[in-house]
């Protein structure tokens, strides 16, 4: 395989992975269908009503952000919210891993070389698409 072909395969992989990231972001946005209000409370306010707050969080009526002094330190959220947060964190880490892999794939090239290769590959793909369009018109 020539060096140019290797670059083409790398860039096709970059595009494919970028599309997967976009689909995952859209999926995460669809998961958040209901806006649940967040109530801010000082710890001293929350402690005596903890049982009631837990019931309201369980019923998805609210989330609670708890502060000590004026510093937010914790939150009370539903188990569903926590699971969704954990899934989003895991997906985010996987997406960043893709970016790390892409960076490693091109670590041996300068930004100028990458730009030149991208320009060349884009020109090659456009020429290939032009030929396919012309071939389709003549048949």
- Domain, as residue range, for 40: 34-77
Residues sharing a CB contact under 8 Å with residue 17, sequence separation 6 or more, in sequence order? 98, 102
Does residue 82 contact residue 55 with C-beta atoms inside 8 Å? no
Q: What is the pLDDT along the chain (139 residues), one digit of tens a residue?
A: 455 566 666 666 666 666 666 666 665 565 556 789 999 999 999 999 999 999 999 999 999 999 999 999 999 999 999 999 999 999 999 999 988 888 888 889 888 988 898 899 999 999 999 999 998 876 5
Q: What is the pTM of this model?
A: 0.52
Residue 69: φ, ψ to 5° = 70, -125
133, part of any domain? no
The pLDDT value recorded for residue 56 is: 95
61, part of any domain? yes
**How many folded domains does the chain comprise?**
1
We report the CATH number of the domain holding residue 41 as 3.40.1620.10
């Amino acid at each position: 395989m020539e060096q140019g072909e290797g670059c083409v395969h790398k860039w096709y992989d970059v595009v494919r992975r970028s599309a997967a990231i976009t689909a995952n972001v859209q999926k995460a946005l669809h998961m958040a269908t209901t806006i649940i209000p967040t109530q801010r409370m000082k710890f001293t306010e929350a402690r005596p009503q903890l049982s009631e707050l837990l019931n309201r969080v369980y019923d998805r009526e609210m989330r609670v952000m708890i502060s000590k002094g004026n510093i937010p330190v914790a939150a009370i959220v539903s188990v569903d919210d926590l699971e969704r947060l954990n899934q989003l964190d895991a997906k985010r880490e996987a997406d960043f891993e893709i970016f790390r892999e892409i960076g490693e794939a091109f670590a041996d090239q300068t930004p100028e070389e990458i730009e030149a290769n991208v320009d060349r590959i884009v020109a090659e793909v456009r020429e290939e698409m032009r030929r396919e369009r012309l071939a389709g018109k003549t048949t």
